[in-house]
Structure 1
Amino acid sequence: MFGEASGRFMSEGRITRIAARAMFPVTRLLPAFLLCLLGACGQDADTVSSGPTPLGQTQITALVWAPDWPDEMHRIANEFHRAHPNISVDVQFMIGNSVEENLKPKIATRNLPDLVSVNPNAYSAELAEQGILTDLGETAAWNNMLESLKPDWTSRHGKRFGISGGVAATLIYYNKAMFRRAGIAAPPTSFEEFLAACAALRKAGFTPMVWTGAFPNTLANGPFSFGFANGVAAHHPRDWKQRIADGSLDLANGDAVDIFARIKLIADKGYLQRGFMNTSYDEGIRLFADGKAAMAFQGTWSSGALMHGKDFDTGVFVPPWNARGKTVVPVVGSETGFAVCDTPRKKAALQFLEFIYGKGFAIQQNKRQNIPPLKQVSGKVVSDPLIVDYVRQVTQAPLTAPLYYSYLPTNTIELLHPLLQSVLFGKTSPRQAALTLDRSIRHEARTENK
């Protein structure tokens, strides 16, 4: 989600003032990527050594955002080392609630990893503009990435700074058996119908939805991003991203208040699991997969776990954050991906990047079963057909919006996570939250545009 006197690295003050501009709209995705490939990967995970590097061997550092696939990342690194015995990989995992909060101190102290997870936003693009991230335009991974995703990973001056981790969409997974037992014949198509479905589920003795209050990143990807898409982007379909960039987007109004009010309403009505503010990312997935809740507001990146619940069939539907009679605006874009930093070990890191998106790709894909970001995939991989159909459907919508991390300013991203928690704890009202969001975006735009 830096500083050096020579000018190669930005000052920390500069980098924290980057306003997150969405430089290109999310375009329609190519039908070819929706092919569902079958296969499996059954190798055991191995731990990559981070001990002293033997003479003649290069050790690279990979700083990775992989909350739901750490074991697979270790396996990819281990397989890469087997294929390239002269290169070892020290895998380190990001913590907290955003990619950006992990990157800032690394760059400020000039302690750059060699390969790093990044988001498709102006913060990462500016790192590329400053020469901190390497241009990946000549790599096989870039050439193999879906054309529809490449604009998300291209800076305003043409730097190609990252490779997407997948096609990202947030959606609602639901337990079909619980819906039938609650008398719900079809998924809801408006927010009013959604509340009615929650009420019916609770009356039938079920927990309507699981939320991960201890990991607000998921709340931001889900209900916040959909609230923003349907309450804000829908009212400014042509220029809402530019309005964020120049500070002219008005969020001190009822539309923005409603983003937070709906999130609070679902909690206040008792439609969430007990202790939802203490629920972690992994625990939230487990609660749904174990049949403890009827719905999960999650991403396509978790479909490998959420589409295979215990003893029940899972369905998916577009979160109906639209008012009755209004067309829903789906959320779809690029997943967090990988970049290579301009370090003395850049050549080895580029080799590792190519392996991640080449021979190593099936290892993580068969765990996650998301939508691959590639035109052609090496090896046999699995993608869930319902998720493939879902993405095909939403990318044909008249208007779509990306996930919050690709358009909010970096400092606003970090502000949003505790703000969502504060609203749910009742410490901040939805109106106060909207005003705080408005002030942050305007401040970042003023600072950036000086």
Structure 2
Amino acid sequence: MANSPHSGSHTGFPVRSALRWLLSGLIGFLLLCGCHQQDAANDSAVPPHITSITALIWAPDWPEQMLQIAAEFSKLNPDVHVDVQFMIGNTVEENIKPRVAAGTLPDLVSVNPNAYSAGLADQGVLADVSQTTAWKTMLAPLKRDWTSRRGKGFGVSGGVATTMIYYNRDIFAKAGIEKPPANFDEFLRACAQLKRAGFTPIMLNGGFPNMLGNGPFASGFANDVVAHEPAWKSKMAEGTLDLDTPAVADIFAKIALLPERGYVQASYMTTGYDDGMRLFKDGKVAMAFQGSWAAGLLLHGNRFPVGVFIPPWNARGEPVVPVLGSETGFAVCETTNKAAAMRFLEFIAGKGFPILQRKRHNISPFQNNAGTAVSDPEIVDYTNAVSRYSMTASPYYSTLPSNTLESLHGLMQDVLLKKMTPSEAAKRLDESVKNDAKMHYK
């Protein structure tokens, strides 16, 4: 039957139909596969979920660098967007406290290495960062500043902070001053010599009391309190440190003495942070009380050479006590975006840190940046010299309770405006510190 003439005559048409059907089906299948592949390609092109984190930063003289750090981080981490916001006012704490009260803290925030920040860590507001590379590579002496009572590492330092007096070497030479003063009496004589030669001796930031605190107050506290009371820190925390004393009144009296003798610029009570820097860079004042964080700006781009020396707030015959510690740093808050904020913290302390240093030239707080970060030899030498002193004091924002920081600013300004005597200011300071101890340490 297979060879019958009927079999040949009836199979031709069905075979061709079947081939056409198979061919069309194959084409359809291939087209369908192509569509699925295109869909898969489109799916792979969809960007990952983007986490948006907020960073609240204290950067009075480097906002552009912080924005650049955030942009560089997002380039390398396309799944994280950083919304940078900048703190305003005179202190880090006055920016943080309202947000703590309202429960609106950012994901990453600038903090100071003080009791207030440590308390936030122990309350569960700030995260423990002690497992990060940033913490592990931070210089060992600085870690003490950033460890809470319960042993939490609550932040990393933005730099090694030390305060100094920058001076215009040309002006000193023209006034006949051969070397920087070594005690307060010599300092006053140098100021008098500069004034007689027609120069304004020193710039005072009356309009930005943060620098009054970092400058003459911190050095005064170092030489009038720390030098004579080794247990000052524990006594302050317990509320047993007596600050209503002639020695503390002397801190405020020294601040008031400078304008009283005409040693500061005419507009000292309205001079802000940037204004004061410009006065020095323009050669309108011979000296500026500033920190190591300002080295990049104050040491470069001038028409004159600049030197630095330890603020000589010590009495004649007594060793000077310099100020040395941690600069304002960075902490991660306990938010739903903590993991992304930790990544950003690591970037700030790692690849982002040289971006800061290109402008600031401060001393790196991290071991792994020691050989690569930009620092000026003069500042490195100064910091190394200060670190060898048998006694140093902390920056004022690490020394005083946070509530006292805010009241101190008003006290210093009131003394400068002659609304309050130095003795009254010392009494108010003492009351503020002891009240804080009653609230937090009893």
* TM-score strictly above 0.5: yes
Equivalent in the alignment of 2:215: 222
The alignment-based identity, stated in percent, is 59
Offset at residue 146 of structure 1 (A): 0.6
1:275-299 deviation line (CA, Å, top 9, x unaligned): 0111110111111111111000000
- Are the counterparts in 2 of residues 362 and 378 from structure 1 also a CA contact under 8 Å? no
Equivalent in the alignment of 2:51: 58
Aligned letter for 2:387? T
1:4-44 deviation line (CA, Å, top 9, x unaligned): xxxxxxxxxxxxxxxxxxxxxxxxxxxxxxxxxxxxxxxxx
SS of the equivalent of 1:88 reads strand
SS of the equivalent of 1:252 reads coil
Aligned match of 2:406 in 394, 410, 414? Answer: 414
SS of the equivalent of 1:292 reads coil
Equivalent in the alignment of 2:129: 136
Aligned letter for 1:203? R
Distance in 2 of aligned mates of 1:254 and 1:346: 48
Offset at residue 148 of structure 1 (A): 1.2
- Are the counterparts in 2 of residues 361 and 378 from structure 1 also a CA contact under 8 Å? no
Distance in 1 of aligned mates of 2:191 and 2:104: 48
Aligned match of 1:303 in 295, 302, 320? Answer: 295
User: Following superposition of structure 1 onto structure 2, how do residues 11-90 of structure 1 map, counting pairs within 5 Å?
Assistant: 56-90=49-83
- Are the counterparts in 1 of residues 184 and 314 from structure 2 also a CA contact under 8 Å? yes
- 2:240 is equivalent to residue 248 of structure 1: yes
Offset at residue 379 of structure 1 (A): 8.9
Greater RCO, 1 or 2 (C-alpha within 8 Å, sep 6+):
1
Aligned letter for 1:322? N
* 5+ residue gaps, structure 2: 1-46
Offset at residue 56 of structure 1 (A): 2.2
Aligned letter for 2:89? G
Equivalent in the alignment of 1:343: 335
Aligned letter for 1:257? A
- Are the counterparts in 1 of residues 121 and 148 from structure 2 also a CA contact under 8 Å? yes
Distance in 2 of aligned mates of 1:440 and 1:61: 33
Offset at residue 310 of structure 1 (A): 1.9
- 2:196 is equivalent to residue 203 of structure 1: yes
Equivalent in the alignment of 1:327: 319
- 2:260 is equivalent to residue 286 of structure 1: no
Offset at residue 407 of structure 1 (A): 2.0
Distance in 2 of aligned mates of 1:287 and 1:132: 41
1:280-338 deviation line (CA, Å, top 9, x unaligned): 10111111111111000000000101112521000000000001110000011000000
SS of the equivalent of 2:242 reads coil
When normalised by structure 2's length, the TM-score is: 0.88
Equivalent in the alignment of 1:396: 388
Offset at residue 378 of structure 1 (A): 8.8
Aligned letter for 2:155? G
Distance in 2 of aligned mates of 1:104 and 1:349: 20
1:146-197 deviation line (CA, Å, top 9, x unaligned): 1111111011111000000010000000000100110101000010000000
1:386-408 deviation line (CA, Å, top 9, x unaligned): 00010111111121100111121
Equivalent in the alignment of 1:96: 89
* 5+ residue gaps, structure 1: 1-53
Count of residue correspondences: 396
Aligned letter for 1:394? V
Aligned letter for 1:295? M
Aligned letter for 1:160? G
- Are the counterparts in 1 of residues 158 and 326 from structure 2 also a CA contact under 8 Å? yes
- Are the counterparts in 1 of residues 204 and 265 from structure 2 also a CA contact under 8 Å? yes
- Are the counterparts in 2 of residues 412 and 440 from structure 1 also a CA contact under 8 Å? yes
Aligned letter for 1:293? V
- Are the counterparts in 2 of residues 167 and 373 from structure 1 also a CA contact under 8 Å? yes
1:243-294 deviation line (CA, Å, top 9, x unaligned): 1111111111110110000000011101001101111101111111111110
Aligned letter for 2:400? L
SS of the equivalent of 2:288 reads strand
The Cα RMSD (Å) is 1.2
- Are the counterparts in 2 of residues 288 and 309 from structure 1 also a CA contact under 8 Å? no
- Are the counterparts in 1 of residues 99 and 105 from structure 2 also a CA contact under 8 Å? yes
- Aligned in 2, Cα 1:97/1:185: closer, same or farther, shift over 3 Å? same
Distance in 2 of aligned mates of 1:380 and 1:133: 30
- Are the counterparts in 1 of residues 121 and 154 from structure 2 also a CA contact under 8 Å? yes
User: Following superposition of structure 1 onto structure 2, how do residues 182-197 of structure 1 map, counting pairs within 5 Å?
Assistant: 182-197=175-190
